[in-house]
A and B are shown apart, each in its own frame.
Chain A
Amino acid sequence: DAMVIQNPRYQVTQFGKPVTLSCSQTLNHNVMYWYQQKSSQAPKLLFHYYDKDFNNEADTPDNFQSRRPNTSFCFLDIRSPGLGDAAMYLCATSRLAQEQFFGPGTRLTVL
């Protein structure tokens, strides 16, 4: 089945230790998104790629970066995780202006 895959599902890191989260898709969608979701809150968009065109949300901290080496893969890098970055990170894909398909998420814990 076509799908959005996120690895790992659970990630534990130490305060200040860089971490990379991975997302891949078999849907061949041209748009990929990264969201941060904290407990009992709606997902908050961090950035998205339309093909290779990177779009950063104005309030996304500089501590968060992303890479999209090809259509299928997208990475979220957190350069120096703080306790406030502990959250669920969701990857989603879509065709432009169409519905988004979400992966299962990566739960990040910062010790």
Chain B
Amino acid sequence: AQSVTQPDIHITVSEGASLELRCNYSYGATPYLFWYVQSPGQGLQLLLKYFSGDTLVQGIKGFEAEFKRSQSSFNLRKPSVHWSDAAEYFCAVGGREYGNKLVFGAGTILRVKS
């Protein structure tokens, strides 16, 4: 079955520290990969996407992600976290192999301590 795993339900980092959120997907030779962020009571905002090409992609708000086909992973990174980054982060996989729908991971809640 098609699935997306985000192994960390909660992560707490100090403001200014680096961040890495993990994401693994189970299926697809040519997946389309996404990271979304959701603040409480809000919709999802697209941080970045990968369709093809350079496996290191840059997104908004200083985030980047790296696609590693050999590991079926698409981990999200930020070199220095700001308090405003506290939110829930969802990894998602889509594309034609997924029926043009998105399969979401369970999400990772990021807490930032000052």
A-side interface residues toward B, CB under 8 Å? Answer: 4, 6, 31, 33, 40-43, 45, 48, 50, 88, 90, 92, 96-97, 99-105, 107
Set A48, A50, A102: member contacting B44, Cβ < 8 A: A102
Residue from B34, B46, B96, B101 whose CB has the most chain A CB atoms within 10 Å: B101
Question: B36 to chain A: which residues have CB within 8 Å?
Answer: 102
In the complex the two chains form, what is the Cα distance from A40 to B46 in whole Å? Answer: 18
Q: How far is the CA of A99 from the CA of B106 in the complex (A)?
A: 18
Q: List, sorted by A's number, 18 A–B pairs whose CB atoms are closer than 8 Å.
A: A40-B109, A41-B106, A42-B105, A42-B106, A43-B104, A45-B101, A48-B101, A97-B94, A97-B100, A99-B49, A100-B46, A100-B94, A102-B36, A102-B43, A102-B45, A105-B41, A105-B42, A105-B43
Q: Which of A6, A45, A88, A102 has the most CB of B within 10 A?
A: A102
Is A99 in contact with B46, judged by CB distance below 8 angstroms?
Answer: yes
- Nearest-neighbor residue (CB-CB) of B36 within chain A: A102
- Chain B nearest Cβ from A105, distance in angstroms: 5
| Residues in chain A near residue B63, CB distance under 8 A | none
CB nearest neighbor in A for B49: A99
**Given known contacts A31-B100, A97-B96, A99-B49, is B44 in contact with A43 (CB within 8 Å)?**
yes
Q: Nearest A residue to B98 by beta-carbon distance?
A: A97
DSSP majority for the A interface? strand
Distance in angstroms between the alpha carbons of A90 and B36 in the assembled complex: 14
For the complex formed, measure the closest distance between the CB of B105 and the CB atoms of chain A, giving whole angstroms.
7
A88: which B residues are within 8 A, CB to CB? 41
Distance A48 CA – B104 CA, assembled complex (angstroms): 16
Question: Would B104 and A101 count as touching, CB distance under 8 A?
Answer: no
In Å, the complex CA distance between A104 and B106 comes to 19
Question: B62-102: which residues lie under 8 A (CB-CB) from chain A?
Answer: 90, 94-96, 100-102
* A103→B38 CA distance, assembly (Å): 11
Residues of chain A with a CB closer than 8 A to B104's CB: 42-43
Q: State the CA gap A74–B93 with chains docked (Å).
A: 24
Q: Which of B34, B44, B49, B100 contacts A90 (CB 8 A)?
A: B44
A104–B42 contact, CB under 8 A? yes
